[in-house]
Every structure is written in C-alpha cells, then in structure tokens.
Amino acid sequence: MLTPENSCNYDDVKRAIQSCHPKMSVFQLKRLGGLENYTFLLNDSVVVRFFRRDFLEKDVENQQKNIDFLIPRVPVDIPRFNIFYGEFNGQPLKMCLSPKIGGWTASAIIKHMSMNDKKYVWEQIADFLHVLHGIPQVEWKHLSIKSYKEQLWLRTTSGKNLIKPFLINFSNTNKPVLLHGDLHAGNFHLDKYNRVVGIFDFDYLSYGKKVYDVFHTQTNMIDRYMMKRIYENQTGKTLSGMKRLGVLWGLYLLAELGVGPLVKNKYKQLRTHLLKLENMH
C-alpha cells in the first residue's frame, strides 16, 4: 500500500505504477488528490488510482460491475477502469486505470460562475439524479451495493440524529432508490459550455432515500435553487412558501453537516440565512 509519505514522492509512485503495469511509460505525473484514495493523472491522458481503505480496495471489482451496469442507463459519461496487480514495499498493490474525462472538475471553477451558469449546472445534476434514482429496483437489486445503514455508519459527519425527519419530508415514497453516495463538485466535470460531461467516484454506490444524494454534497455545491429543483424533480410537487422554507432549511442544514460538526446556534444561523433568501425571492 502507498502511504501519505511515499504518495508525495513521484519516484515511488512511478515505481508502484510500473510494478502493476511494467509496460506503462511514465512521462508526466500529476497528483489529483482524493480522501479515500491516491489519484494521479498519468501522461495527461490516464487516471491512476490506488486505494487507501481496505474495504474500498476489496470492493473495486464490484464497483466496476456496477459502473458497467450504470453506463447505458444514465445520460453522462462514466469512465470504466481496468485493474492491475503488483507489489510495493513487500505489500500487494491494486491499481485502477481509467481514461481521463474531458473538461474540468466543477469544484475548481464553480465558485467563479455567474448565478445563471450555476443554475444550468444544477439543472443537469438534478436531471442526472432524477434518472439515477428512477432506475427500477428490479434492475439493480442484483448489484453489489452497500446498504444505506452502512453508508451512514461509514460517514461520521452525516448527522445521524437529524436525518429521519428530512428523509420523511423529502421523499413521497418509502421505496429505496439507487444512490451515487458521494456526489459533490469534485466528482463531476464541466466543459467550456458548462455542460456536465462526466460523473465519477461511484465508490459509495448504495440504496436509500433520495435526499441522501442531496445533503451529502459539499456545501460549495449546494444552493437553494438546486435543492428546490431536485426536490420538485424527485417528488413531482412544487415547493412554495413556508413548505419550501422548511424543506430547504433542513436540506441546507444537512449539507452543512456533511462537511463539519454542528456548531452552537447553527440552526438559528441557517434559519436566518434562509429567511433572507426567502425574502429576496
């Protein structure tokens, strides 16, 4: 396994890559980050990934099966990957190679967009989730996907005590849906026309309530328009007045919980913030 120390040493990373794929030439290497993995851009054309966590490393073959299932069903590019095995520092090593997706990571540019451009991006994400969440259970029940309860257990900042009322309010069905599980602005790419050209990192593919894919996004991907759009797209109901305020308040709070602990008076701050938004619109 690579470690935080040697993952910063490009000679070690090159040695790890060539252990798994001896014929692979390494001309250029760029670190792309990743919390549960070490991800690099190789020769400006191939994405290389080494996993940090054992449970993700063990599940990688199942992840590929899930991606193969999703590819013809959703209207966006999902890159397939190939798995290679090697050895590094006397330990078995598993490496995933996938083609580079076009465009740019949304997290790198979305803060600089106009509100109209952001709305266009949110509409596309809402449409993607609408399709993903609409795949009938009979089609995906055979997949090797993590349970919803396991998802909540894995993410310590998911706000377990506060989830239930918002799950009930958000969805008009008790049936579980297929979830991306980790949809934030670092996990999709935009082209120069602000079109979503690819979505990736389906490591946490799971099943559960639709709202999970909303509140689990990072705060910099959340705005009231997106949440309103997704809510209406998922439920067929129009959000207006105090109902809109209540639902958006709850979702905004859950989005905040996804990136950090709840601080004192956060409820009051979020309510004040959303009331201002309500008055502005």
Q: pLDDT digit string (tens) for 118-133? A: 888 888 988 898 899 8
Q: Domain tally for the chain?
A: 2
Q: Are 150 and 268 contained in the same domain? A: yes
- pLDDT tens per residue across span 159-184: 444 445 445 455 555 678 898 888 88
Q: Are residues 88 and 132 in the same domain?
A: no
DSSP H or E run through 161 = helix 160-170
pLDDT per residue over 248-276, tens digit each?
Answer: 666 666 555 543 444 445 556 656 665 66
* Same domain for 171 and 63: no
Containing domain of residue 24, as a range? 6-99
The CA–CA distances, whole Å, from 143 to 138, 139, 153, 157, 259 equal: 10, 9, 20, 26, 29
Among the three residues 65, 99, 133, which one is the final residue of a domain in this structure? 99
Per DSSP, what are the bridge partners of residue 265?
Answer: none
Is the Cβ–Cβ distance between 237 and 113 less than 8 Å? Answer: no
If you ran DSSP here, which 8-state letter would residue 186 be given? G
Whether 173 and 221 map to the same domain: the answer is yes
Count each helix (H run) and each strand (E run) in the chain, helices first: 12, 10
Q: Are 39 and 112 within one domain?
A: no
The tokens for 245 are 């305020």
* Residue 106 or 256, more confident: 106
* Residue 1 belongs to some domain of the structure: no
> Backbone phi, then psi, for 21, in 5-degree steps?
-140, 80
186 and 69 both lie in a single domain: no
pLDDT at 145: 83
Asked if the model's pLDDT at residue 18 lies above 50, the reply is yes
The SS3 of residue 177 is: strand
Within this chain, do residues 86 and 114 fall inside the same structural domain, yes or no? no
CATH code, domain carrying 56: 3.30.200.20
Q: What pLDDT was estimated at residue 276?
A: 64
Task: Tell me what pLDDT residue 232 has.
Answer: 77
Same structural domain, 13 and 121 = no
Q: What is the pTM of this model?
A: 0.78
Residues 231 and 174 in one domain: yes
What is the spatial distance between Cα 32 and Cα 239, in angstroms, rounded to a whole number? 38
Among residues 260, 173, 255, 172, the alpha carbon closest in space to that of 217 is found at 255
Among 99, 123, 150, the domain boundary falls at 99
Q: What CATH number is associated with residue 255? A: 3.90.1200.10
Do 132 and 250 sit in the same domain of this protein? yes
